[in-house]
Structure 1
């Protein structure tokens, strides 16, 4: 298969320029734009924080305890969350109910288990 491009060489015979049909040029530009868009999207996804559904935000704004909201969002039971955080289920229950504040260490462990920032739980 021959290339649609015409090669123009310099005085030493080295390829210096390529002349190609406008349709091929436009196809290459479109492919480059698409590749750049995909790369930009991938970079954004890998560097940006997770977003949450409106339901999660609404529950938080209504004053529901963040541990319960994020636990429900992750589809975990209190027992599963407690095991993942190395805590007792009753302790997690008390934090969710607001009868205990939870130590900083416990909240850090819960945040890690829920894959959220500690600030999201405070």
Structure 2
């Protein structure tokens, strides 16, 4: 790593200036550390992984919500009761006929024990 320059801004804040190659090496080291931490968490059973068959089922599911509900062996009624909505509302969410608000999806994620991101499809342009 090259020598790092420091400067002090007019407001008194100290800043470090380093070559771009050093900055990129730091980013790579952070990525590697995060990947290692995630691999260790998977090995300890702290992060759930999917089999190839489950991944295919998730891709083929009408919505991620329906996949995770079935993976958790819950009925629509079970899930509805756990978050305080009707079974027909769950059915509508799973078919895409109904849209839920962020708070509802947060409750659904908690009930299904998955990160919120697992239930929300990416927005397409």
Q: In structure 2, what is the equivalent of residue 66 of structure 1?
A: 64
> Is 2:119 aligned against 1:121?
yes
Query: Helix, strand or coil: the match of 1:116?
Result: coil
Residue segments in structure 1 that go unaligned for 5+ positions in a row: 1-40
- TM-score using structure 1 length: 0.59
Higher gyration radius (CA): 1
Following TM superposition, by how much is the alpha carbon of 1:42 offset from its aligned partner in structure 2, in angstroms? 8.6
Note the alpha carbon deviations across 1:17-74, whole angstroms, 9 max, x for none. xxxxxxxxxxxxxxxxxxxxxxxx799415x411123232112223531111000001
- Whole-angstrom CA distance in 1 between matches of 2:42 and 2:115: 21
CA, structure 1 residues 53+42, in 2 after alignment: closer, same or farther (shift >3 Å)?
A: closer
- Whole-angstrom CA distance in 1 between matches of 2:41 and 2:65: 30
Q: In structure 1, what is the equivalent of residue 76 of structure 2?
A: 78
| Corresponding residue pairs, total | 81
Q: How does 1:23-34 map to 2 (within 5 A)?
A: none
Root-mean-square deviation (CA, aligned residues, Å) is 2.1
Query: Helix, strand or coil: the match of 1:49?
Result: coil
Following TM superposition, by how much is the alpha carbon of 1:77 offset from its aligned partner in structure 2, in angstroms? 0.2
CA, structure 1 residues 42+93, in 2 after alignment: closer, same or farther (shift >3 Å)?
A: closer
- TM-score using structure 2 length: 0.57
Q: In structure 2, what is the equivalent of residue 45 of structure 1?
A: 44
- Whole-angstrom CA distance in 1 between matches of 2:42 and 2:52: 24
2:42–2:49 CA contact under 8 A, matched in 1: no
CA, structure 1 residues 53+85, in 2 after alignment: closer, same or farther (shift >3 Å)?
A: farther
- Whole-angstrom CA distance in 2 between matches of 1:67 and 1:93: 10
